[in-house]
Amino acid sequence: MIDTEICVTPTLAAEHGLSLDEYARVQKILGRDPNITELGIFSVMWSEHCSYKSSKVHLKRLPTKGPQVVQGPGENAGVVDIGSGWVAAFKIESHNHPSFVEPFQGAATGVGGILRDIFTMGARPIAVLDSLRFGPITEGQGATSAEVSRNRRIVDGVVRGIGFYGNCFGVPTVGGEVAFEPCYSANPLVNALALGVARRDELFFARARGVDNPVIYVGAKTGRDGIHGASLLASAEFTEESQQKRPNVQVGDPFLEKLLLEACLEAMHTGAVVAIQDMGAAGLTCSTCEMASRGSTGIEIDLALVPQRETGMSPYEIMLSESQERMLLVAERGREEEVLCVFRKWELDAVVIGRVTSGGLLRVLDHGRLVAEIPAHPLAEEGPVYSRPLAPPAKPSRAETLVAFAPQGTNLTENFAKLLAAPAIASKRWIVQQYDHMVRTNTVVAPGAGDAALVRVKDTGRGLALAVDGNGRWCHLEPRLGAMHAVAEAARNVACVGARPLAATNCLNFGNPEKPEIMWQFSEVIDGMGEACRALGVPITGGNVSFYNETLGHAIYPTPAIGVLGILDDDSHALHMGFRAPGDAILLLDGAGAAAAEAAAPADLEREFSSSEYARTIRSIVAGTPPAIDFAAEKRLIDSLTALAVMGLLHSAHDLSDGGLAVALAESGFASFFATESLGAHVALQGTEPAEWALFGERGARAVVTAPQAALAAVEQIAAQYQLGLRKLGTVTQGIFRIEYNGREVVSSPVARLRASWADSLEQALAAR
Amino acid sequence: MKFGVVVFPGSNCDHDTHHALATVLGRPVDFIWHQSEDIAGFDAIILPGGFAYGDYLRTGAIARFSPVMRAVTKFAKSGGLVLGICNGFQVLLESGLLPGAVLRNAGLRFVCRHVYIRVEHTDTPFTRAARPGQVLKIPIAHSDGNYFCDDATLHDLERNGQILFRYVSPDGRESAEWNPNGALSNIAGVINHERNVAGLMPHPERAAESLLDSADGLVILRSMIDSLARRESQSVGASVAERVPA
Amino acid sequence: MKAHVWVMPKQSVLDPQGKTIQHALASLGFAAVKDVRQGKFFVLDLDGMSRDEAAKQVERISRDVLANLVIEDFRFVIVE
């Protein structure tokens, strides 16, 4: 072996993030000491980001199978059958650390990476959603003005980055969610979800097959960008020092990626492509060894043939570069010209850089000189796996401060207006307007027009619904229960546009896994997700784990972002959340059933309510326990909503979540982001609980729907058939929004006033920079 | 009657335009690759939205030098119908087939939403199916749509009836509040002096089905179909060069 | 031989980016900054021609490609 200029020692290995044990394992696999290039290769492949070494033992507990699942975890994206010979490929992935270091490029390349994962499978991307978490963007509750202005800069950069990439690439950004909590101040989360569709018989996989088949490099030239992005940036906590890593952040070119998409799909159609994988984290290293490992083959490449943007790059740098917009594919021997011809048409670099070999080795040459030789399978699949210690956090010795309910008869209008203006609840118009959410003319339910996004699949008449949810605050209070709610809410949201939940993808954002309490959170979240996915029949088909979301020792809330994909057999049955006509009946559908629930003890109500958005925004309290979950109730609600959608009985549907019933009613009135006139509601509620709980409580399995009076009887019949609780709350109005509780008016305001606090607050905070 | 939709590297509304014309309106449509100079057999050319050549340098600035634009220019000079949508409009401005230019949006951000535009003249091949003053609800999606021209040009445009669409309120009033990008004189679209080349920032192909919220964009596409049908019935077998612009 | 080309929005054209920067500077306390114009700067690497030829060509390139004369002006220098 060569490349002996640098002597590899256990110390150097440690600097690459490999422990002594891991280094010994490298020596055992190779039967000798690695050289510097090989050390680099092992260090990225065995980094937390690429190897899942801390999470693997837990991820096994998730349900991943079902008749609808064509491809579960382990490929570039999960794939499910959507009928008529079509499949949907979808996956969510994090780009948290790069987005903190450089928000615009970090978010942009996050979108670019997940899009490549989709079209690598042979699927054309048709939608993107984003799950975003930031620190506070308004002062107060302990947020300093310096912190607030930094967070605003991050939000601005991330939003512009997502728009920049998706808009130019030509994929609609159709939805997602955004939340603001102090714990994300120094650790924003940027999770991007992409959805694509393909004919079932035209799917592609990343399995290098056929000895002597050529290995072809396509796309952007390789530069020094992003070296060690995966191993260092995404696999360690942030310290003062790591803020200096800016030069390592990759720069995205969505125009190039658009060409790459068209060229790849066209090349796949020639029939001459055997396998294809994108070069994302760990670039050429990851794509070569994973393709060889999955195909039970080897790969030999010569780096001298790799198109390079900079001069004098070492083998180490070329193998570890994370330059964007690159793909590696294997073509059928003798037909490579057909493939190269397509890339020439699109004016893209495409070069044969090596071949598939027998014997299972990844062999890297540089001008014919061997610079690395590693068995591919052990490198890709036999990395270290840890059962890290778990420990629940110590219970605080002091009793928590819980919410004390306002006395009966308190007028809650001001609190309500304030809640509507909370960044988590306020209109996201300022954000979604910066995204092209209509390109490809499939967006049936646009951002803000429904609980989930719905895009049609033109050739099938079907619609695909997508929602992404995850309440970090609830997962912080009770990880297992919080994770269950994340799955249930995403599934419920999908049902609220009329679609049947099919499958899920997940992005798990956590702190440092070497800390037992973080690992305990992770394990709990996995168990909660697993149980919810089984109960609701939505297997997990893929996703991503992001650890080390800590800065200076402070971890984020455990934040699983769950994306649920649903199907609507006829896209014209799609439900929107906006009220449609004054005079329509407003109904509350409750999966918990017709029988009135047993009156809860006041202390339990306080505990539950202390975890709500209202408690956080109005009382500055984050405490207690999230509401209990009832999967049977969730299932009944989902099934009945999909049935009601098919029958066309409803004018609107919107689930109850952040801010409870009152916020759901108001949001339905504000309807679409772009409606010029909002509708209101006049509802009368009864109950024994405090009014704040009745208006703003966040118990699950509930939705507000409207129906024309003439359809009421039919809706009641369906509700009875599904053993669903149905309460007539009131009617849709114009001009005034009013809620009465036990005969007393608790909220009353002109709709326009409420709408103004909801519509403008985000824009006021963010646009005025 | 055959429509051609030009595909530049980076066009991303090409398929949407094709879908609106072929599937929704049932008309023959073919794509035209940017390297092609052969556009024989097409009766109308549409330059679609997107980011041609990444919109690097300026929007539409590089696309105008592509081989297909030489053919499109010739086609336009001989009276053929050419419509530029969003990025296509920007290409027409850059190539000088339409007067003016676009600046960065006044708000400096990409804006995607429905807007209302008023049809200012119905005596054109692109608007003949509209009622005078009709307000159309059509989406925009751009970061450079802030139309600009000098005073003399604006005066000419007004005098010659070349301002085809203006941003207005839902009930047809002009006001700054309803202008999404700061465009001069609320201009959303213009037509050339000969009235056979037009461009607009809003996307009519995105407003072609009520399932997607609005079908108002069909007014523009149907106008073109009408115009082509008239031309065909007036001069069967005549070459494009001999046809009189509507 | 290199050419440096500056492309600037015309004085008569509103420059929203420049205006926003000026506004931001003012709010940061740089009150002395009364106006900002944002333009583009190009470096062209030219080969195999005389200075005069280069000047002619860069003039054409700037007029036809780099600047849009409806909204922009340009100027250039040949260096080295």
- pLDDT per position as a tens digit, A514-535: 999 999 999 999 999 999 999 9
Residue A394 located in a structural domain: no
Residue A588: both structure tokens together: 């509350």
Query: Percentage of residues in chain A with pLDDT exceeding 70?
Result: 95
pLDDT of residue B242: 47
The 3-state DSSP class for residue A301 equals: strand
Mean pLDDT across B163-186: 97
- Rounded CA gap, B38 and B30, in Å? 13
End-to-end CA distance of chain B: 16
B205/B227 Cα distance (integer angstroms): 18
Per-residue pLDDT, A66: 97
Q: Determine the average pLDDT of the residues in A536-554.
A: 94
CATH class entry, domain C2-79 = alpha beta
Q: Is C33 on the interface with B (CB under 8 A)?
A: no
Tens of pLDDT along A161-211?
A: 999 999 999 999 999 999 999 999 989 999 999 999 999 999 998 899 999
Is 70 exceeded by the pLDDT of residue A111? yes
Give Rg (Cα) of chain B.
16
Chain B residues inside the 8 Å CB shell of A346: 9
**What is the average pLDDT value for chain B, to the nearest integer?**
94
pLDDT band at A768 (very low <50, low <70, confident <90, very high): low
User: Quick one: pLDDT at residue B237?
Assistant: 53
- CB of C17 within 8 Å of a chain B CB? The answer is yes
Asked if the Cβ–Cβ distance from B212 to A253 is below 8 Å, we say: no
- How far apart are the C-alpha atoms of A228 and A420, rounded to whole Å? 43
Which H helix or E strand runs over A518? Answer: helix A516-536
Cα–Cα distance measured from residue A115 to residue A523, given in angstroms and rounded to the nearest whole number: 29
The answer to which of A95-109, A394-408, A472-486, B185-199 has the lowest mean pLDDT is A394-408
Q: Which chain B residues are Cβ-neighbours of C14 within 8 angstroms?
A: 103, 148, 182
Q: How far is residue A47's CA from residue A229's CA, in Å, rounded to a whole number?
A: 10
Domain that holds residue A94: 64-380
**Closest Cα partner for A41 from A311, A376, A360?**
A376
Collapse the DSSP code of B196 into the 3-class scheme (helix H, G, I; strand E, B; otherwise coil) and give the result.
coil
User: What is the rounded CA–CA span in Å between residue B126 and residue A367?
Assistant: 60
Distance CA A422, CA B185 (A): 37
At B32 the pLDDT is 98
- For A467-483, what is each residue's pLDDT tens digit? 999 999 999 999 999 99
| Per-residue pLDDT, A767 | 79
Percent of chain B whose predicted confidence (pLDDT) is above 70: 96
Q: Chain B residues with CB inside 8 Å of A456's CB? A: 211
Render the burial of C9-27: b for 16+ CB within 10 Å, e for the rest: bbeebbbbebbbbbeeeee
The domain boundary, picked from A361, A380, A399, lies at: A380
Q: Both ends of chain C: CA-CA distance in Å? A: 5
What is the predicted pLDDT for the residue at A244? 46
What angle separates helix A20-30 from helix A36-45, to the nearest 10 degrees?
A: 120
Last-in-domain residue among A348, A380, A412: A380
Helices (H) and strands (E) in chain B, counts: 5, 11
Q: Taking CB atoms and an 8 Å cutoff, what residues of chain B touch A676?
A: 170
Q: What is the mean pLDDT of residues A453-472?
A: 96
A439, closest residue in chain B (CA to CA): B13
Q: How confident is the model at residue B23 (pLDDT cuts 50, 70, 90)?
A: very high
Residue type, A713: A
Asked whether residue A691 is assigned to any structural domain, the reply reads: yes
Which among A167, A256, A444 is the nearest to B212, CB-wise?
Answer: A444
Instruction: Kindly state whether residue A267 falls inside one of the protein's structural domains.
Output: yes
Of C16, C17, C70, which is closest to B100 when you measure between CB atoms? C70
- Is A434 at the interface with chain B, CB within 8 A? yes
Question: Which tens digit of pLDDT belongs to each residue from B68-89?
Answer: 999 999 999 999 999 999 999 9
Residue A328 domain flag: yes
Q: Could you please state the CATH topology (level 3) that the domain comprising B3-242 is classified under.
A: Rossmann fold (3.40.50)
Among candidate residues A64, A72, A81, the one with its CA nearest the CA of residue A457: A81
Q: Which of B65, B94, B103 sits opposite C13 (nearest CB)?
A: B103
pLDDT at residue A582 tops 50: yes
Q: Which residues of B are catalytic?
A: 86, 203, 205
Q: Residue A727's domain is classified under what CATH number?
A: 3.90.650.10
Residue A694: which H helix or E strand, with range? helix A691-696
pLDDT tops 80 at residue A285: yes
Q: How far is CA A97 from CA A18, A113, A158, A187, in A?
A: 20, 14, 12, 7
Task: Using CB atoms, pick whichever of C12, C17, C66 lies closest to residue B104.
Answer: C17
C16 in B contact zone (CB under 8 Å): yes
Report phi then psi at B23, rounded to 5.
-85, -45
Give pLDDT, residue B234: 85
Average pLDDT over residues A452-457: 98
Cross-chain residue pair B110–A346, CB shorter than 8 Å: no
The C-alpha atoms of residue B31 and residue C52 are separated, in whole angstroms, by: 44
Residue that is last in its domain, among A380, A409, A435: A380
Locate the domains of chain C by residue range. 2-79
pLDDT tens profile A30-46: 999 999 999 999 999 99
Q: How far apart are CA A648 and CA A646, in angstroms?
A: 5
CA distance A51 to A48: 5
The reply to whether A438 touches chain B by the CB within 8 Å rule is yes
- Cα separation, A361 vs A52, whole angstroms: 22
pLDDT band at A245 (very low <50, low <70, confident <90, very high): very low
Q: Check pLDDT > 70 for residue A247.
A: no
Residue A70, SS3? strand
Output the pLDDT for position A631. 97
Q: Is B186 on the interface with C (CB under 8 A)?
A: no
Residue A1 scores a pLDDT above 60: no
Q: Which residues of B touch A433 (CB under 8 A)?
A: 109-113
Number of residues assigned to chain A: 769
Beta bridge partners of A357: A298
Residue A229 has pLDDT above 80, yes or no: no
How confident is the model at residue C15, as a pLDDT? 81
Chain C residue with the nearest C-alpha to that of B149: C70
Whole-model pTM over 0.90: yes
Query: Structurally, how many domains does chain A consist of?
Result: 2
Phi first, then psi, for residue B56 (nearest 5°) are -70, 155
- What mean pLDDT, rounded, does chain A reach? 93
Among the residue ranges A43-47, A279-283, B54-58, B95-99, the one predicted with the least confidence is: A279-283
- What pLDDT does A234 receive? 57
Q: Other C-beta atoms within 10 Å of A395: how many? A: 7
Q: Is A461 on the interface with B (CB under 8 A)?
A: no
pLDDT tens-digit map of A307-364: 998 888 999 999 999 889 999 999 999 999 999 999 999 999 999 999 999 999 999 9
pLDDT of the residue at A400? 84
Tokens of residue A601, six digits: 């003890």
pLDDT given at position A633 = 96
Residues in chain B closer than 8 A to A440 (CB atoms): 15-16
Mutate to test the interface with A, among B24, B110, B140, B173 (most CBs of A within 10 A): B110
Instruction: For residue A570, give the chain B residue with the closest CA.
Output: B211
Residue B64 Cα, gap to closest chain C Cα (Å) = 10
pLDDT band at A603 (very low <50, low <70, confident <90, very high): confident
> pLDDT by residue (tens digit) across C52-62?
999 999 999 99
A502 has a pLDDT exceeding 50? yes
Phi, psi of B204 (to 5 degrees): -60, -30
